[in-house]
Structure 1
Amino acid sequence: MKKSYISRRGFMASTAGLAASSLVLGAPSIARAASAPIRIGVGSDPVFAGYFVAQHEGFFKEEGVEVNLQTYSGGGDAMNALVADQVDLASASESTIMVRMNRAEMRPLAVVYYSGLYVKLVLRPGLEDPKEIKTFGIVPGSISDYCTGLTIQHFGLDATSLKMVPSGPPELPALLLRGDIDAFFAWEPWPATAVDQGAKVALTSRDVGYTDTIWATSSAAMLESNPEGLQAVLRAVKRASDIVQNDPERAAEGVKAITRIPVETTLKVSKDMVLTVRDFTDADYESFDGIAKFLADNKVTEGLVPYRDYMQRGFYKG
């Protein structure tokens, strides 16, 4: 594995959960038997509906693979579980994965989601112009952090005069409504939660030049020991994703059955995202290069993350 490139000052100081999970990494990860269930870690919001619907509809079993689907508060915690060898496959956004790439042998397999509308900039009540922002709430090392940087560039804000308040996603609406922060850039359902209490959506990630993606990422051990099982997982998620896109009511019921997320919530946010399973493209890599550069420039990583060394382009045939 290449030398460490994550800045302890930047990323480790703001992600205590990852530090705890990395304690188990002293010994090499042992490949699990191909017959054992594939442990899948995902966040608990509707962007992971492909996994929830696949579980609810029985698609994993129909594809001949046994899985243990585990939900976490967000993609970051799911990736921490992958780092800690508590799951074999996890899904999260690009930056969330990149900042962990030196802590475990992980292999991104495919894109399972993309959007330019799902991640939104929210302003506190009474603030109308993004140029008036003085304090941002951010989820460090995530697309929240990345989009905040793009917003600063887009509006020509003085980065040296801005205050950044690190937070977990669920706390952002409360911080905003208390006036502790002026704005946050984050994914649903947190913008909708804030809007329901009087906040305002000012723009989406697409407005500042970013289309977000989520990757299905396996451990190197699982890819080596059971590539057929991983292919089956992706086929099942693709079938479920087609239902999300073509029959949202049916999909929302499936999401509720697995997660208890209200049908109305899933229906409301599903129009802002595309769930699928597809291979990585040249255009993807151009976008990912921008994220890697942002992480390096802001000292979240020590230098550019060599993410291309680990991408399994061509694995999913679809």
Structure 2
Amino acid sequence: MNKVKFFALVSCVFLIFLAACGSNENTSIKLGEVTRSLFYAPQYVALEKGFFEEEGLDVELQTTWGGDKTMTALLSDGIDVALVGSETSIYVYAQDSNDYAVNFAQLTQTDGTFLVSKEAKPDFEWEDLKDSNFLGQRKGGMPQMVGEFVLKKHNIDPHNDLNLSQNIDFANIPSAFASGDYEYVQLFEPTASVFEKEGNGHVIASFGEESGHVPYTVFMAKESYMAENEENIKAFTKAIYKAQKWVDETNAAEIAEVIQPYFEDVDLDILTSSIDRYKGQGSFATDPILDEEEWNNLKNIMEEAGELPVEDVPYEDLVNTEVAEEVINN
């Protein structure tokens, strides 16, 4: 073999090697979370334990801070997948969108807020809330809608029986409660536990326990993205399901250690107790399927709050369970 043929052969082998290596590169997915929350523990587990990489995905996480901003990022292709309240997909649907936001994997299945009082209330009754100064959540968001649903369940009209304030941005609610003359507030973990530890508040009830199962936080993507990236969506869902099973089978202390990099300013004992509280009330979904009963509960909560924008919100259009069912069955 002459030198020319030899070098040509070597070059071909080298190019084939590069092509083979290139074909094994992970697929990139841009994921936007509506806020940074301990409530989303299984998502951080999937990232930290490498479950996405095992499925051939390189997931780039960004916090998009708010439902409106998250959906804007999703619809404008700033992100591929959104972790956000499933009510946002209904709001998009009501705008006659040609490209729906489709819910394909559920992460949390209860409300994640707790009723926190400034003073200790060992004998608390829901009736005690009447005529109180109550710091509420953003109008139209899941925390506020679930809060109103629970209050009405206990014969309390949130807009007539409370001195309700809703003019504080989500990120500033804890500090506003601590420094203001509010008597009650809805808070997520770990903030609720931090308030207890520092003596700034007392957890006296759970909105998650009171409201039942609801698709509170869900992974969604545009209908067009799902159609064009079926394998990516399936791989993503498989990674989430792995994380859900791991969280369900693992104690709170070990989960806290795994996800602590996402909450560097929170003490490990607070992370542990917060996760234990969420696990105890079944907040973390144990599989990614969003069933129709949960969807109907969501619609009832929205309708009760006067926020359901259209009469018919078809489950079969806005929810895709085929991917999750295939992942679980296999």
Asked whether the two chains share a fold, i.e. TM above 0.5, the reply is yes
Give SS of 1:243's match.
helix
Q: Deviations over 1:195-254 (max 9, x none)?
A: 334212231114533334321111223201111111111111111222222224343222
Q: Deviations over 1:149-199 (max 9, x none)?
A: 124313333433533323233322222222343322242233234333421
1:119 aligns to 2:113 (yes or no): yes
Q: Which structure has more helix as a fraction of its residues?
A: 2
Do the aligned partners of 1:123 and 1:202 also contact (CA within 8 Å) in 2?
yes
Paired position in structure 2 for 1:210: 212
* 1:161–1:113 distance in 2 versus 1, CA, 3 Å: closer
* 1:254–1:44 distance in 2 versus 1, CA, 3 Å: same
* 1:259–1:121 distance in 2 versus 1, CA, 3 Å: closer
Q: How far 1:100 moved relative to its partner? A: 4.2
Q: How far 1:77 moved relative to its partner? A: 4.5
Structure 1 stretches lacking a partner, 5+ long: 1-33
Give SS of 2:109's match.
strand
Do the aligned partners of 1:244 and 1:275 also contact (CA within 8 Å) in 2?
no
Distance between the aligned counterparts of 2:185 and 2:314, measured in 1? 27
Q: How far 1:68 moved relative to its partner? A: 1.5
The percent identity for this pair of structures is 18
Distance between the aligned counterparts of 2:46 and 2:209, measured in 1? 32
Distance between the aligned counterparts of 1:283 and 1:188, measured in 2? 26
Paired position in structure 1 for 2:50: 58
1:306 aligns to 2:313 (yes or no): yes
Paired position in structure 2 for 1:23: none
Paired position in structure 1 for 2:271: 266
Give SS of 2:295's match.
helix
| Rg larger in structure | 2
RMSD, aligned CA: 2.9
Distance between the aligned counterparts of 2:165 and 2:314, measured in 1? 27
Do the aligned partners of 1:83 and 1:100 also contact (CA within 8 Å) in 2?
no
* 1:143–1:190 distance in 2 versus 1, CA, 3 Å: farther
Q: Deviations over 1:127-149 (max 9, x none)?
A: 76223424332122222211231
Q: How far 1:76 moved relative to its partner? A: 5.9
Q: How far 1:106 moved relative to its partner? A: 0.8
Query: What is the total number of aligned residue pairs between the two structures?
Result: 281
Provide the TM-score with structure 2 as the length reference.
0.74
Instruction: Give 1:279's aligned amino acid.
Output: I
Instruction: Give 1:38's aligned amino acid.
Output: I
Paired position in structure 1 for 2:13: none
